[in-house]
Amino acid sequence: MRFFKYFSIAVLILAGTVYWQSRQTDYLRLRGYVFGTYYSIKIKTSQRIPDLSKIIDGQFALVNKQMSVFTKDSVINKLNRAGKGKWIDTPPELHEVLKTSAEIFSQSNGAFDPTVGKLVRLWGFGPDGHKQAPSAESIQKTMKSVGFDKIIIKEGKASKINAQTEINLSAIAKGYAVDLIASKIKSLGYTDFLVDIGGEVYASGNRDDKGQGWLVGIAEPSENGHKNLMSVGLKDMAVATSGDYNNFYYENGKKISHTIDPVNGYPSEHNLVSATVFNPSCMKADAYATALMSMGEEKGMKFADKNGIAAILFIKNKNGNITVLFSKQAKIFLGD
């Protein structure tokens, strides 16, 4: 359930345009492209890390092999093609993502639902989608295969209650990839670093010898670019954003947003255009941001406050102005 994701989180370091590794002063940098976007890794060390590029590429390959719907023989595609009740073996990494997806699906009362992809395509937001509202009958028919509660997860395996159910983990897998890379860097003995994959960020330890956190800019969404709202010094914390600012069409004078509510099958009708979430786990920050976008500003803020989620919500009013709301936990986290 990936909503249009613009980069409203900007890491305040030089952005790279090519894949390379270098040592500059006390930092090691690695930059490149993955999952259809950029990635940037910065490690506070004066030492070269042997085979770092190969190590990182191996982690990316692992995520693609297990979780990408664009990889034909991925494990998630094997599960998508499987018939009702057929068990598919799931590696530990995929099991963790599926288990977390099920937990947040339940916690959010279905607002976070990785099986919503068919509905998104039905409303014309797929790669070859025809921008036209579907009939009530087709929505009702598609809804029969939507719902993460149709996925049965056991240790090391998973199956489906409905053979037509499809899983797309794009709203959580990139956040998981950030956590995976961070865990790998820690296993190599490094504690001060930053991982950024297309705006999904995890900051570990300190960025300098003065003990300062890694600077991350939180931007206010705008059709004319992104105005920086604030800069946050992050330590041992992840941040992710989901947005629905530019992906929509009009039919009979009514705006049709591609934020499809997986609970009723229709586009969500609210004024929330962006949600930013802070969490020690980038995987969870990614999923929670998506859930908040599905809920809208009122339900989303109540959900964030009830569950202690540090969230920043950007609401666009009728005049096109942006209002910024902070959850209770976000105010505490940001020192307000």
Q: Please give the pLDDT value at position 42.
A: 96
Note the pLDDT tens digit of each residue in 299-323: 999 999 999 999 999 998 878 788 9
Binned at pLDDT 50, 70 and 90, residue 260 comes out as: confident
**pLDDT for res 133:** 78
pLDDT for 223: 61
User: Can you tell me the mean pLDDT for 256-262?
Assistant: 74
Mean pLDDT within 245-269 = 71
Q: Which fold has domain 69-160?
A: T-fold (1.10.3980)
Give the tens place of pLDDT for each residue, 77-135: 999 999 999 999 999 999 999 999 999 999 999 999 999 988 888 877 665 666 777 88
Q: What is the pLDDT of residue 275?
A: 95
pLDDT confidence of 23, banded at 50, 70, 90?
very low
Are 15 and 34 within 8 A, CB to CB? Answer: no
Beta-ladder partners of 194: 42, 203
301 CB-near residues (< 8 Å, 6+ apart): 311, 313, 325, 327
State the average pLDDT over residues 222-246. Answer: 80
Residue 299: count of CB within 10 angstroms of its CB: 18
Residue 53, judged by CB atoms within 10 A of its CB (0-12, 13-18, 19+), counts as: middle
pLDDT of residue 205: 97
Question: Is residue 253 scored above 70 in pLDDT?
Answer: no
- Percent of all residues in the chain with a pLDDT value above 70, rounded to a whole number: 84
**pTM more than 0.85:** yes
- The one-letter amino acid code at 318 reads K
pLDDT of res. 245? 56
Contact 147, 28 (CB under 8 A): no
Q: According to DSSP H, which parts of the chain are helical?
A: 52-67, 75-81, 92-107, 117-122, 136-143, 173-187, 282-295, 297-306, 328-334
Q: Which whole number is the average pLDDT over 171-191?
A: 97
What percent of the chain is modeled with pLDDT above 90? 66
- Rounding to the nearest 10 degrees, give the CA dihedral for residues 80, 82, 87, 90: -30
27-41, 111-125, 144-158, 212-226: range with lowest mean pLDDT: 212-226
pLDDT at 27 over 70: yes
| pLDDT of res. 244 | 67
pLDDT score for 267: 81
